[in-house]
Homo-oligomer: A and B are copies of this chain.
Amino acid sequence: MTSPLVLVNLKTYKEGTGSRAHMIAQAAQLVAQESGVTIGIAPGYIDLHPLCHHFSVPVYAQHVDGVEPGANTGHITVDAIRTAGAAGSLVNHAERRLTLADIEASVRALQAHKLISVVCTNNEATSGAAAALGPSYVAIEPPELIGSGVSVSKANPDIIKRSVAAVRAIRPEVKVLTGAGIQSGECVKIAVDLGTDGVLLASSVVKSKEPGAVLRDLVSRL
């Protein structure tokens, strides 16, 4: 069994941009080294290359377009994030939903460049559908719990169990993350005990005054 992944989405929070992004990446690197747990960081586009350059933690884009380089103004290609040093990308986050055709194109483009794809989904059925595309990870996040401070692990363990089962039934090799309201080592422990391969989270780390302490707590029960 592989080590779980704790993936921290910096969104466009002020507290996750520029020097704060660096500080969080540094804390992630330190806690990852101490604990042996893989901690990834998904910063804004502008911070992507600097973070890849300065830190050893895997850095993810928050979104990527499945288009080829070309006449696509305002898009971000897999080619661009790969050159920047990204390990992979979120795809279809609740705050950046894509059409099914575009999700598939993004996953396929990430695979073609041997990058990690993390497709976000909102329920059991869409988790199964996303798994059928063969991404590296499916990240199930019940939309009503995102940013709520209520942990999906505690509020809705059933949706996690059913989503894990739905993904496994279709593509056993696809890993599962869960997210929404994750804020402590206990939440992470429950998520992993329910069969997931880690968590996707944001505000509890990014908005903390001590991201390192939160990260240390998050991995403490693994």
A-to-B contact residues, CB < 8 Å: 9, 11-14, 17-18, 42, 44-46, 48-50, 62-63, 67, 69-77, 79-81, 83-84, 90, 92-104, 107-108, 121-123, 125-126, 128-134, 146-147, 166, 170, 202-203
Least CB distance, A93 to chain B, in whole angstroms: 4
- The reply to whether A90 and B73 contact each other, CB–CB distance below 8 Å, is yes
Question: What are 7 inter-chain pairs, A to B, with CB distance below 8 A?
Answer: A17-B69, A17-B79, A46-B84, A71-B95, A71-B146, A97-B99, A132-B132
For A70, give its contact among B11, B72, B146 (CB under 8 Å).
Answer: B11
Residues on the B chain within 8 Å of A122, using CB: 101, 104
Residues on the B chain within 8 Å of A93, using CB: 73-74
- The reply to whether A170 and B14 contact each other, CB–CB distance below 8 Å, is no
Cα–Cα distance between A103 and B132 once the two chains are bound (Å): 15
- The reply to whether A100 and B92 contact each other, CB–CB distance below 8 Å, is yes
- The reply to whether A67 and B100 contact each other, CB–CB distance below 8 Å, is no
For A46, give its contact among B73, B80, B101, B202 (CB under 8 Å).
Answer: B80
